[in-house]
Amino acid sequence: MSIVITGNPGTGKHTISCRLAEDLGHTILDLNEIAIKHGICEKKDSTLDVDTKKLARLVKKLITKDSIIVGHLAPYVIERSQIKLAIILRKNPYKLIPVYKKRNYSKKKQTENAASEILGIIAHDSIKKFGLSKSRQIDTTNLTISQTVSKVKRILKKKSKGDNVDWLGMVAKKNDFAKFFPNR
């Protein structure tokens, strides 16, 4: 069965997927690349709007038992029955902001992505779609690429259940809501 690697931008999805694919002999299905290649997306401002229904139909034909499906759109285009496990990469939002700045994201896009990570939107949507038994979170904040890949492998071998991640509690403790949720 295939594996999903999902999470917000900057959490390490592509880097981890490439290393994992090498180690396991799997092929990567990059959801953004597929959407672009098949012209089922539209660039708006600095983001891509993807037709998720068309993408779901396309990906369904491409998935094999040795696929690693990578992308934040996974919970919106992949069916629970198509995967063995969904790995949700998470990263401290304070550490994501510099990543977004380096990528030249607009201030608005930086804030929106960090806020999404704080609220755990992709984690929530993945767990809702794939179920708790097929969803595992990994906090990549202080892990190297090798450590993260090792953690994924331990999860695949059922030697780890992953991490519990709560950025909302951390931000509340620091009283930093205005930093990540301006004008709210």
pLDDT at 41: 84
Q: Return the CATH number at 64.
A: 3.40.50.300
Q: What is the mean pLDDT of residues 171-183?
A: 91
CA distance 171 to 8: 17
Is there a domain that residue 48 lies in?
yes
Is there a domain that residue 136 lies in?
yes
Is there a domain that residue 54 lies in?
yes
Structural Rg of the chain based on CA atoms: 16
- Residues 113-169 have pLDDT tens digits of 999 999 999 999 999 999 999 999 999 999 999 999 999 999 999 999 999 999 999
Is there a domain that residue 115 lies in?
no
pLDDT at 182: 85
pLDDT band at 42; cut points 50, 70, 90 = confident
Is there a domain that residue 7 lies in?
yes
Longest CA–CA span in the chain (Å) reads 47
**Residue 106 pLDDT exceeds 80:** yes
**Residue 184 pLDDT exceeds 80:** no
Is there a domain that residue 102 lies in?
no
Closest CA to 4 of 125, 63, 85: 85
CA distance 51 to 139: 29
Say how many domains are in the chain.
1
Instruction: Kindly list the distances between the CA atom of residue 71 and the CA atoms of 14, 31, 167, in Å, as whole numbers in the listed order.
Output: 8, 5, 21
Residues shown for the chain: 184
Is there a domain that residue 180 lies in?
no
Domain of 161, in residue numbers: 2-92+123-165
Nearest 5°: phi and psi at 88? -105, 110
**Residue 1 pLDDT exceeds 90:** no
pTM of the model: 0.94
CA distance 152 to 161: 10
Is there a domain that residue 12 lies in?
yes
Six token digits for residue 65: 């038992």
**Residue 15 pLDDT exceeds 90:** yes
